[in-house]
Amino acid sequence: MGKLTYNTYRRIQVGKGEKPVPHTTADVLFMLLRSQIEPNYTLPDMAINQEMYASLYALSKHHDMAHLLAAALEENGIMPEHQGLVAKLRKQYLLALSRTERIIYELDRIACTFEASEIPFLPLKGSVLREYYPRTWMRTSCDIDILIHPNDLEAAQSALESKLGYPPSSNRTSHDISYYTESGVHLELHFTLIESEVVGKEDKPLEHVWAHATLKEGKQFTYELDSQMFYYYHIAHMVKHFVLGGCGIRPFLDMYIYQTKTGICAQEIAPWLEESGVLTFAREAEKLAGVWFGGEPHTSLTRRMEDYLLKAGVYGSMENRVAIQQTQKGGKWAYFWYRVWLPYSVLKHHYPSLDGRPWLLFFYQVRRWWKLLFGGKAKRYVKELKRNQEFDDAKKAETAQFLQELGL
């Protein structure tokens, strides 16, 4: 469907008999998404041209929201006439259904196995948020996130591998182990949520995460977080990805739906957010969620956040990451040397076997360079360093102002 043009203006008929007013592709997408999550919301009459349909599909797919776009267009009777585009939209809808069913099935298998093995565990992220959506398939995810106690890691691995047939995993970081099932489901088995050297102060309240977990009704080893800690963890995870290039639309949709269903808000957990230095970001994120899904008016800052996020997509962009990280590290040369020679506190998260052995730092740097050069990432790495050198003082000042206004 070609080039992403979310900020182009097209005339969209709003209301019968009313004068058409211009809306961006993003405006239209958010109205369509809102029609899926808010029962009493009436979608305005729309006269969407073919170019707008193409832009809507491109933007929604860029943010893994094409399945929701497909459902909104279908249910409102405004599917495009172009059959090729209709086929693509319906394919995304069916893929979302399939992916959700596979993840729910695999999560149920894991839950039954951990219950039988008497291993306490705590589902996180999408596995929980999915239940707050009007329909579970609306909240797609790429993986399953589960937290266990560090002392149960060996037992959990044994249960997954011997009882469920998971292939042994060597993909371990300082905080989790990744498994991939035959059906393509990715499990992130967390044994801690702490990544302070990588993330920052946001991890502090998470040191006591289990103190905010209680047994799920009818279960003996399945836990759930209270709304305050769950919401805090969601915001902390948003910040982590935001400063690394962008986090996409979905975390804001999660935020809006979770707020609506539970009544939680940033003010309720302000002491934790303030301690972590992300209170301002949390408040601005709530404002942007309200703009996108609640029809609230934009501010100048939410406009800039929207621009930063929509262009970057669900996984963020290199341009955003370099701009933010260069500003936080103190300039282009400081960022250049940071990327060439990762500090021990960061590198040990990539290579857990380095932890407690700082004298081996040089050898692990060489190992990392070798992986970058011959692991298929050399071109991307060179492109990142080149982009770093291209940022001028004006861009740096603009980014610094943006971060300051967000409290980051």
For residue 62, what are the CA distances in angstroms to 2, 5, 100, 105, 310?
Answer: 12, 11, 19, 27, 8
Residue 378 lies inside a defined structural domain of this protein: yes
Residue where the block lists tokens 């975390």: 251
Residue 337 lies inside a defined structural domain of this protein: yes
CB 216 within 8 A of CB 222: yes
| 400: containing domain | 330-406
**Terminal Cα distance for the chain, rounded:** 36
Provide the β-strand partners of residue 172.
177
Provide the β-strand partners of residue 11.
22
With b for 16 or more beta-carbon neighbours within 10 A and e for fewer, the 265-277 pattern comes to: ebeebeebbeebe
Q: What is the pLDDT of residue 352?
A: 77
CB 243 within 8 A of CB 329: no
Residue 115 lies inside a defined structural domain of this protein: no
d(CA 111, CA 113): 5
d(CA 279, CA 275): 8
Residue where the block lists tokens 């949390």: 282
The residue out of 81, 98, 124 marking a domain boundary is: 81
Residue 151 lies inside a defined structural domain of this protein: no
d(CA 24, CA 8): 6
Q: What are phi and psi of 187, to 5 degrees?
A: -110, 125
Nearest to 59 by CA among 14, 24, 20, 23: 24
Residue where the block lists tokens 């259904």: 97
Total structural domains in the chain?
2
d(CA 75, CA 57): 16
Q: What is the pLDDT of residue 344?
A: 83
For residue 144, what are the CA distances in angstroms to 31, 100, 128, 299, 350?
Answer: 29, 11, 10, 35, 21
Residue 17 lies inside a defined structural domain of this protein: yes
Q: What is the pLDDT of residue 197?
A: 55
State how beta strands 223-225 and 186-190 pair: unpaired
Q: What secondary structure letter does DSSP report for 328? A: H
State how beta strands 186-190 and 143-148 pair: parallel
φ/ψ bin of 180: left (φ > 0), alpha (ψ from -120 to 50), beta (otherwise):
beta
Sheet holding 186-190, edge to edge: 121-124, 143-148, 186-190, 176-180
Other beta carbons within 10 angstroms of residue 194's beta carbon come to 16
The residue out of 81, 96, 125 marking a domain boundary is: 81
d(CA 218, CA 216): 6
83: its two tokens: 């059959």
pTM for the structure as a whole? 0.87
Residue 96 lies inside a defined structural domain of this protein: no
What is the full DSSP assignment across 237-301?
Answer: HHHHHHTTT---SHHHHHHHHHHHHH---GGGGHHHHHHHT-HHHHHHHHHHHHHHHH-PPP-HH
Residue where the block lists tokens 């951990």: 114
The residue out of 81, 109, 131 marking a domain boundary is: 81
Q: What is the pLDDT of residue 155?
A: 96
Residue where the block lists tokens 């469907």: 1
Residue 87 lies inside a defined structural domain of this protein: no
Q: What is the pLDDT of residue 15?
A: 46
Q: What is the pLDDT along the chain (408 residues), one digit of tens a residue?
A: 334 444 443 444 444 444 444 578 899 999 999 999 998 898 887 778 888 899 999 999 999 999 999 999 999 989 998 899 999 999 999 999 999 999 999 999 999 999 999 999 999 999 999 999 999 999 998 799 999 999 999 999 999 999 999 998 878 877 889 999 888 899 999 999 877 555 567 778 888 999 999 999 999 999 999 999 999 999 999 998 898 888 999 999 999 999 999 999 999 999 999 999 999 999 999 999 999 999 999 999 999 999 999 988 888 877 787 777 777 777 778 877 778 788 887 787 778 788 888 888 888 888 888 887 777 777 777 777 777 777 777 777 888 888 889 988
Residue 188 lies inside a defined structural domain of this protein: no
- The number of helix segments (H) and strand segments (E) in the chain equals 18, 8
d(CA 365, CA 343): 9
d(CA 173, CA 348): 8
